[in-house]
Chain A
């Protein structure tokens, strides 16, 4: 708890982000009574949980000074793989879920190894891996090789994650809450957390201070890919199926949630509590558009403006040079 309080005290932008999310919900609930109903708020929370879980990995990567643009197709591949392996049966989950998450983690490890040891720029490496997975999935699903992608389905337990409440809240929310607690304490209290900030601030200094920078980098990308995997499984359950292209909104969404949550893209700052606020704001914004009768196109514009606005107003992700 003190960890949380400390974070809030040190991060006025984060408090602003939460206030903004809260005020938006209150204002719209007054204007449109249905908006604030428990069922609608619950569905909003589930939306936010998926963005939030994806953005968890992105937060860790960005704090460490990198970026993960392979999220959309890691998520998508995991979702497809999960449905194909389980074929809608609970019994197959016992081995299928670990296999699927391990596959996602392996992709993360490949990202991290190339970035840490081959010195490939994160933007390029992860964008290339995203392209590779897109090619593999599109090629395998549409190129005539029958992997039974149409026959695959999420098993009932996964379907229930976003639907059946446990103690009044859907299981997805509980998963998210436990991840929030784990990562917040991990970043603020553990050696791993301090090292992650250290390599993001100055990896040369971190090396001299005895941090194994390369191993830490690999670890952050593994975390990110695994979180994309978790989100992929949840999303397949929420939609009731996996389809190609389901991960695409998260390319921008994950970075936006982190940036709106007050982390600097330059690394070394930010925390997950902020990202959670970012995820909530983005979700509420998306839900507002239909109310104001705005087309989906407006969502792109609003997202872009919100990112630019927060970055500018909070003075984050900005170059130090004034020239």
Chain B
């Protein structure tokens, strides 16, 4: 676990140091997501002050939560320099199981929630095993498993349908605690989970693998175990998002996860995370997800048809990546000078 075996130039990637907190210079490109977020938030609220009402906030956050889960999941993998296309399939499996199996009975709810989360983690772990033990590149591995998981979801629930016990909606999504919507607590919980996780050795290792896999290996990071763990966690979060989405819609869909593949990657990139891995923050990714959602709201108020949503997201995604690549260019030039 020592960085001393490395040449001095390479030590930034070692496990001992934290690339996020150490030696950070103020970088304007890191605050861009937050600026965009606040500008959007203010303009949306100005356009529609009703948004400040707790009931509206509750609905908005309920709709946001699945994307936040999936974005968190995607960030974990992109941090390591990979990409997880299969989270769409895992989310679909979760909704398929939830909509077909769960009944209003408390025992059934607890059992199936745990079973779905376990299935998600298992599917993720299988992704991880394929990426590490079979050494298939993440893109192809998760493209193939996306197809497999989607097939399984279609087996469980051949077409849109199934019912989700209404009692769950009351428990999880409706009403508030201490005057604030329940969904707000969930979102804060997710953000806190990142604040906790980023201090763990596990996440430090993810950064190490993403920034330089060989150095991470040489300094003793258990690469395979860390990656399998990351993919499993990613699967678990995707299935959590799936359960929540099913509760929200009260019904299931075997293709529910597919739109999340592009949106999760878009959110991560909006948050400024580098696709090459090793740089960025999951907190910022979650802000990226909110940016996408606020833009949808903005479109709505401006009277743009929701059918155009993928177009707007695509344009923004390209802009975000272009800005990022400008940032990289400037950073490299600064280093070169």
Q: Which residue of B lies closest to A124 (CB)?
A: B321
A143, A304, A323: the one contacting B305 at CB < 8 Å is A143
Q: In the complex, which range does the number of interface residues on chain B fall in?
A: 35 or more
**Residues of chain B from 293 to 337 with CB closer than 8 A to chain A in the complex:** 305, 307-315, 317-318, 321-322, 325, 328-329
Residues of A within 8 A of B38 (CB): none
Contact A319 B321 (CB under 8 A): no
Given contacts A131-B311, A301-B152, contact A125 B147 (CB under 8 A): no
CA distance A266 to B150 in the complex (A): 25
Question: Taking the nearest CB of chain A, how far is it from the CB of B268, in angstroms?
Answer: 10
Contact A295 B147 (CB under 8 A): no
Contact B308 A120 (CB under 8 A): no
Contact A129 B148 (CB under 8 A): no
Q: Any chain A CB within 8 A of the CB of B256?
A: no
- Count of chain A residues with Cβ under 8 Å from any Cβ of B? 50
Q: Any chain B CB within 8 A of the CB of A321?
A: yes
Interface segment, one of B100-108, B133-141, B165-173: B133-141
Q: Any chain A CB within 8 A of the CB of B223?
A: yes
Q: Which residue of B lies closest to A309 (CB)?
A: B144
Contact A317 B140 (CB under 8 A): yes
Residues of B within 8 A of A143 (CB): 305, 307-308
Question: Taking the nearest CB of chain B, how far is it from the CB of A123, in angstroms?
Answer: 7
Contact A124 B148 (CB under 8 A): no
Q: Any chain A CB within 8 A of the CB of B207?
A: no
Q: Any chain A CB within 8 A of the CB of B73?
A: no
Contact with B along A116-135 (1 / 0, CB 8 A): 00111101110111111111
Q: Which of A125, A298, A303, A308 has the largest count of B CB atoms less than 10 A from its CB?
A: A308
Contact A121 B321 (CB under 8 A): yes
CA distance A252 to B321 in the complex (A): 24
Given contacts A131-B262, A131-B313, A304-B144, contact A124 B269 (CB under 8 A): yes
Residues of A within 8 A of B322 (CB): 114, 118, 120
Besides A128-B318, A129-B314, A304-B147, 20 other A-B contacts (C-beta < 8 A): A124-B265, A128-B266, A128-B317, A134-B311, A135-B307, A135-B310, A139-B308, A252-B147, A297-B154, A297-B158, A298-B151, A300-B148, A301-B147, A304-B144, A307-B140, A308-B141, A311-B136, A312-B136, A318-B135, A319-B135
Task: Please list the residues of chain B having a beta carbon within 8 angstroms of any beta carbon in chain A.
Answer: 83, 130, 134-137, 139-141, 143-148, 150-155, 158, 213-214, 217, 223-224, 262, 265-266, 269, 275, 305, 307-315, 317-318, 321-322, 325, 328-329
Task: Please list the residues of chain A having a beta carbon within 8 angstroms of any beta carbon in chain B.
Answer: 67, 114, 118-121, 123-125, 127-136, 138-139, 142-144, 252, 255, 259, 265-266, 295-305, 307-308, 311-312, 317-319, 321-323
